[in-house]
C-alpha cells in the first residue's frame, strides 16, 4: 500500500478515536434540575477535588445530611451531623406534640484549618448548633457548640485574620462576632447590622418575602453576601447579592437572578477555575430541588446564568446523573445484613426520633421488624416511621410485609408521606385482615377502599407522579409479587407548609387499640415509574 495513503488512513482512525470521548461528553451533558428530589437550603464547599453539600431535613433523624461529589453533579450520602437533635416531647411525638416543619433548618458548611464545620439552628429548641469532624465519611460529627438564641438562616464565617462571625437575620441582616471556641457571642465583639433592608433593592415594590438565607463568601479580598427575597407585587423569589470591601460593610446590593423562583444558595468554584451558583426551586409536591447555575465575572460581580436565565443543560459531563439525579441519595434495601454492615444505610431517615427498642434487623434476619409500644390514632403520630425521598418526574416504591403478628386496630404499610398523605396497607379489625387504601388529601384520613386479606403476607406499591400535572400517588397490591391490582383512587399530592418537606416513601406500623403487635418488612425497592415492579430492571439498588 502507498505510504501516503497508509499514513492518511491511520491518522483518520486515530482522529476518530480521539474525538469519541469529546463527542460523548457533548452528547450527554449534565442537566438541571441537578437532583429532582427534596434537597433544600443547600450549602456546598470544595476540599481539594471533592465537594461536600449539606441540606435541611428538619424533623427527620438522623439529621443534617452531608453529601459528597467529585463532579458537582452526582451526589452520594456521606454522613449526618447528628443522630437526634435533642430529646424533647415534640421530637419524640409524645403528648400530642410534634416537630413537623421544625427540627433544624438551613445549615452552613465550612472547612477551616483541617476541620469540617456544619452549623444549624432550631426553632424547636431555640438554639444554634455547631458540629465538627475531620472526616465527614469516616469520623463521627461531634456537637462542638450549642447555645441560645437560634440564629436564623445564619452563615458561619472564618475570616483571614482569625476572627469568626455569624451572619444572620431576616430582612435586616446582622453580623455577630463569635468566641474563638464558637461557644457563643464574643463579649465586646462586632454585633451590627450590615444590610438594613435586603428588599430595598426592589425600590417601592416591597412587602414580599423578606431577605433571608444568608451565605457569606470572601473572594479576591471582597465579601459577597447571598440572600433571597421577593418583591411585594409578586411571589417571585430572587437572588440578591451584596458586596463589600470590609466584612463590616458598607454593602452594595443588586438583583443577581430573577428566573422561575430559582434562588437561595451561594457560590462554588472548580479546581479548573470555573464558577457556579448552587440554588434551589420550589417544585410542588416533590419538594425543593437543587439547580446549578454557571457564573461569570464582570466588574468584580458574579453574573448568574445565561442572559439572566438558568440553563437546563450544563457544561459538565453527566456521568451517572440519570433523569432524576437522585440515585446516590435513595436506594433499595433487602434488609439482609452481613457482619460489619451498618444497621441502616444512610439513605434512610426516621420521622422524628426513633424508639430503638421497637425495631430490629436481627430479630428475623433478612427482615425489618417493627413492634408497637403506644396507642395513636393516625399515621403522622406513629413512631418509627422509616422514610426515603421520593423523586421526579415519577418514582415508585414496593415492599412486602408479613402481617401475621398484627393485633386488632393495627395498621401497617407503605405511604406517600406528607401532611396530606396516602397509603396502601393492611388493617386488622375484628380479627380479620384487609388491604386498605387511605387518603388524607383532604386533610382528614379517609379509607377509600378495602379488600379482604386471607393470607399472612402481601406486596404493596406506591407510585408518585410529579409530572405532568396533577401530581398524584397511585396504589396497588399483589399476592404473588408479580401481578399487581390497583386499589382505591389516586391521592392528590400537595406540598404543605406545616410539614415543609417533599413527599417521602414511608414504611410504617402503628396501633390504635392495643400495643405490642409485630410486622416484618421483607424488602424495600425503589423504581422510576409505573413499569417497575419488585426486583425488576428499573429498581434503584445502589446504596451509600
Select from 409, 434, 411 the least CA-distant residue to 423: 411
Question: What domains appear along the chain, each with residue ranges and CATH number?
Answer: 38-317 (2.115.10.20), 349-527 (2.60.120.200)
- The pTM of the full predicted model, rounded to 2 decimals, is 0.92
pLDDT value of residue 24: 40
Mean pLDDT of 465-487: 97
Decide: 450 and 413 in contact? Cβ < 8 Å.
Answer: no
CA distance 217 to 226: 8
Mean pLDDT of 224-243: 95
Beta bridge partners of 492: 472
Residue linked to cell 454585633? 191
C-alpha distance across the termini of the chain, in Å: 56
Question: Predicted confidence band at 166 (pLDDT cuts at 50, 70, 90)?
Answer: very high
Select from 481, 444, 440, 438 the least CA-distant residue to 459: 481
| Cell numbers representing residue 401 in the block | 410485609
Question: Predicted confidence band at 530 (pLDDT cuts at 50, 70, 90)?
Answer: low
| Cell numbers representing residue 380 in the block | 403522622
Decide: 139 and 157 in contact? Cβ < 8 Å.
Answer: no
Burial class (CB in 10 A: 0-12, 13-18, 19+), 501: buried
Select from 122, 120, 119, 152 the least CA-distant residue to 133: 119
Residue linked to cell 414504611? 507
Calculate the dihedral angle through the C-alpha atoms of 296, 298, 301, 303, rounding to the nearest 10 degrees: -40
C-alpha distances (whole Å) from 154 to each of 108, 151, 221, 338, 536 are 7, 6, 21, 41, 45
Sign of CA dihedral 506, 76, 60, 368: positive
Select from 73, 29, 77 the least CA-distant residue to 57: 77
pLDDT value of residue 207: 87
* 26 phi and psi angles, rounded to 5 deg: -65, -30
Asked if the model's pLDDT at residue 25 lies above 90, the reply is no
Supply the mean pLDDT for the chain. 93
pLDDT value of residue 378: 98
Peptide bond preceding 369 in cis form (omega within 30 of 0): no
Question: How many Cβ atoms are within 10 Å of 357's Cβ, its own excluded?
Answer: 9
Mean pLDDT of 338-360: 96
pLDDT value of residue 541: 39
Residue 337 makes CB contacts below 8 A (sequence gap 6+) with: 343, 361, 362, 365
Mean pLDDT of 182-192: 97
Peptide bond preceding 47 in cis form (omega within 30 of 0): no
pLDDT value of residue 235: 81
- Find the range with the poorest average confidence among 140-149, 353-362, 455-464, 532-541: 532-541
Decide: 237 and 261 in contact? Cβ < 8 Å.
Answer: yes
Residue linked to cell 424508639? 355
Calculate the dihedral angle through the C-alpha atoms of 331, 372, 374, 82, rounding to the nearest 10 degrees: -30
- Percentage of the residues of the chain whose pLDDT score is greater than 70: 92
Beta bridge partners of 61: 350
Calculate the dihedral angle through the C-alpha atoms of 527, 501, 476, 355, rounding to the nearest 10 degrees: 100
Sign of CA dihedral 310, 312, 315, 316: positive
Asked if the model's pLDDT at residue 2 lies above 60, the reply is no
CA distance 378 to 398: 22
Question: How many Cβ atoms are within 10 Å of 152's Cβ, its own excluded?
Answer: 17
Question: How do beta strands 275-282 and 263-269 pair?
Answer: antiparallel
Question: Predicted confidence band at 63 (pLDDT cuts at 50, 70, 90)?
Answer: very high
Residue 272 makes CB contacts below 8 A (sequence gap 6+) with: none
Asked if the model's pLDDT at residue 375 lies above 80, the reply is yes
pLDDT value of residue 261: 97
Task: Please give the residue that has the higher pLDDT: either 62 or 28.
Answer: 62
Amino acid at each position: 500500500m502507498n505510504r501516503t495513503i497508509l499514513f492518511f488512513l491511520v491518522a483518520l482512525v486515530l482522529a476518530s478515536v480521539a474525538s469519541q470521548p469529546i463527542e460523548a461528553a457533548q452528547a450527554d451533558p449534565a442537566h438541571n434540575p441537578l437532583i429532582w428530589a427534596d434537597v433544600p437550603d443547600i450549602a456546598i464547599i470544595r476540599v481539594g477535588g471533592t465537594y461536600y453539600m449539606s441540606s435541611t431535613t428538619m424533623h427527620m433523624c438522623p439529621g443534617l445530611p452531608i453529601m459528597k461529589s467529585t463532579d458537582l453533579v452526582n451526589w452520594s450520602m456521606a454522613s449526618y451531623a447528628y443522630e437526634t437533635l435533642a430529646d424533647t416531647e415534640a421530637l419524640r411525638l409524645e403528648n400530642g406534640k410534634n416537630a413537623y416543619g421544625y427540627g433544624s433548618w438551613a445549615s452552613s458548611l465550612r472547612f477551616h484549618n483541617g476541620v469540617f464545620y456544619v452549623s444549624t439552628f432550631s426553632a424547636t429548641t431555640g438554639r444554634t448548633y455547631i458540629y465538627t469532624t475531620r472526616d465527614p465519611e469516616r469520623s463521627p460529627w461531634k456537637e462542638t457548640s450549642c447555645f441560645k438564641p437560634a440564629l436564623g438562616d445564619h452563615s458561619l464565617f472564618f475570616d483571614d485574620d482569625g476572627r469568626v462571625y455569624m451572619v444572620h437575620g431576616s430582612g435586616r441582616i446582622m453580623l455577630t462576632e463569635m468566641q474563638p471556641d464558637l461557644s457563643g457571642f464574643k463579649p465586646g465583639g462586632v454585633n451590627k447590622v450590615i444590610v438594613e433592608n435586603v428588599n430595598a433593592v426592589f425600590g417601592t415594590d416591597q412587602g414580599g418575602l423578606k431577605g433571608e438565607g444568608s451565605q457569606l463568601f470572601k473572594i479576591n479580598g471582597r465579601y459577597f453576601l447571598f440572600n433571597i427575597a421577593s418583591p411585594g407585587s409578586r411571589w417571585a423569589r430572587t437572588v440578591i447579592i451584596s458586596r463589600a470591601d470590609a466584612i463590616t460593610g458598607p454593602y452594595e446590593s443588586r438583583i443577581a437572578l430573577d428566573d422561575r423562583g430559582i434562588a437561595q444558595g451561594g457560590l462554588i468554584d472548580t479546581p479548573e477555575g470555573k464558577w457556579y451558583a448552587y440554588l434551589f426551586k420550589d417544585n410542588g409536591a416533590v419538594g425543593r430541588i437543587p439547580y446549578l447555575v454557571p457564573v461569570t465575572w464582570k466588574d468584580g460581580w458574579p453574573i448568574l446564568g445565561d442572559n439572566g436565565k438558568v440553563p437546563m443543560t450544563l457544561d459538565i459531563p453527566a456521568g451517572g446523573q440519570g433523569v432524576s439525579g437522585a440515585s446516590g441519595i435513595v436506594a433499595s434495601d433487602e434488609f439482609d445484613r452481613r457482619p460489619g454492615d451498618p444497621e441502616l444505610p444512610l439513605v434512610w431517615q426516621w420521622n422524628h426520633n426513633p424508639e430503638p427498642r421497637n425495631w430490629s434487623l436481627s430479630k428475623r434476619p433478612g427482615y425489618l421488624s417493627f413492634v408497637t409500644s403506644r396507642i395513636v390514632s393516625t399515621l403522622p403520630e406513629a413512631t418509627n416511621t422509616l422514610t426515603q425521598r421520593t423523586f421526579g418526574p415519577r418514582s415508585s416504591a414496593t415492599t412486602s410485609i408479613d402481617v401475621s403478628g398484627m393485633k386488632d386496630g393495627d395498621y401497617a404499610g407503605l405511604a406517600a408521606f406528607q401532611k396530606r398523605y396516602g397509603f396502601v396497607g393492611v388493617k386488622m379489625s375484628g380479627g380479620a385482615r384487609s388491604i386498605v387504601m387511605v387518603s388524607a388529601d383532604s386533610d382528614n384520613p379517609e379509607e377509600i377502599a378495602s379488600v379482604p386479606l386471607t393470607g399472612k403476607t402481601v406486596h404493596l406499591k406506591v407510585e408518585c407522579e410529579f409530572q405532568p400535572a396533577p401530581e398524584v400517588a397511585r396504589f396497588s397490591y399483589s399476592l404473588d409479587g408479580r401481578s399487581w391490582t390497583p386499589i382505591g383512587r389516586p391521592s392528590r399530592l400537595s406540598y404543605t407548609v406545616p410539614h415543609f418537606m417533599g413527599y417521602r416513601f414511608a414504611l410504617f406500623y402503628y396501633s390504635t387499640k392495643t400495643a405490642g403487635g409485630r410486622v416484618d418488612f421483607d424488602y424495600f425497592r425503589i423504581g422510576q415509574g409505573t413499569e417497575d415492579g419488585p426486583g425488576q430492571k428499573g429498581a434503584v439498588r445502589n446504596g451509600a
